[in-house]
Structure 1
Amino acid sequence: MKEGPDIAQIGALIGDPARANMLSALMGGRALTATELAGAAGITLQTASSHLSKLEAGGLVGQRKQGRHRYFALLDDEVGLLLEGLMGFAASRGFLRARPGPKDPALRKARVCYNHLAGDFGVRMLDRMVADGHVAIDGDEASLTKSGEERMRQLGIDMDALHDQRRPVCRTCLDWSERRSHLAGSLGEALLSRFIDRGWARRSNESRAIHFTRAGERAFCDLFPLPEPLPAPLSHGE
């Protein structure tokens, strides 16, 4: 008798093209109706309802009711991390959607990954926090340092509220477009919310892209500057 986790069941749930498209749509972090998810998957409402029942039974999505409407969302952070990791793995193996367009550069620059910032800006933010000694990375584990916690408080992040949550404050998440890690966890979510509340950025209504204003992009780049380039080696005779 085989023992241990059954990855075949999870793989079958995610592997269906229609369900994969529905889960990808939910990676935007917004709760969507069955009708909206049916449109994202290109299937009928009846078929979408059947798929959603399977995803809910498999612990991948959850629903909540508001009046007469039912909304669906990814069940928790673990599902978002799993999907982003699979996207990164698929991209690294050359399994890419052949639908290039104007949204692609925007998605690669900055996008929402379930509830936190991803793309070039997300990776840049984590790189800077590590370089400044605000986040410590040990393998796949990430932790906020004492100086990092103080810095987050200076930015207006309610660290006491984050510590009261059951979720990890810091996590790394493999970025599918950059093939490197960006910051997840409750801190990643809080920082993205802070950028939006300050008017630095806004969510796209058409995709997972996060659009920074010119002033917001300047403020973000001032807060998380790129590491200084290493000096070029001296040539012989100099």
Structure 2
Amino acid sequence: MTTVLVLLGVLLHLTCFCEGGLTDKGLLFPKPSANSYVKFNPLKSLSLEAFTLCMRLSVDPNVVSKGNRDTILFAYCTKEGDELNVWQEKSNISLYLRSSSEGALYAVPPLSIFRTNLCVTWESSTGLTAFWVDGRRSTLQVYRQNHKVQPGGAVILGQDPDSLLGGFDEDQSFVGEISDVNMWDYVLTGGQVKQFNEKLGLGPEPNVLNWNTMQYEVHGNVLVVPEKYK
């Protein structure tokens, strides 16, 4: 029995180092966890004065909508701390740049069991920031004008790292499905965001994070969902 338990513990913490991208695949985080996550290897350094970040998400509302629970949707962390995070916080979707307290908060419909197309755009020179939900843009906010996102960190899905690759909190973990995480180092036009929403594949190639081509590492209990379930 002891041998079986030890083997089970090893299996639960297997790491998959994968190449070739995730074309027509998704990632399923089936339950809350303090050790399940996916790390992406960006195509280029996240030294950013503007960006567009897009993804498709669905969540388990029985978990992520409990009480005052906050859920991490995207995390980019350096040794100095949080650098670029996207959260669902109660009734808000939020962007934080080098801060865990001062963010751009948007009261948009909460994520649900049905897939939501979510994008966020930000530009340093003006500070103009917006969220796009299923192809519809929020009102603009001015946030972190003249700021610059710093390089040298780790891109993480599923967990909020309080250190570079650790300090995870089960009560903030993502529970649900994520796919088509793409990032550009400039602000896409409204028409280009809508092309992503409609999955036309006609827009510019993502040049920071490209779901179809980038290397990634799967840690813990995360399932790569094949095309037939998408």
- Provide the TM-score with structure 1 as the length reference: 0.25
Which protein is richer in strand relative to its size?
A: 2
- Provide the TM-score with structure 2 as the length reference: 0.26
Which structure ranks higher in relative contact order (CA pairs < 8 Å, sequence separation ≥ 6)?
2
Task: Choose 1 or 2 for highest CA Rg.
Answer: 1
Which protein is richer in helix relative to its size?
A: 1
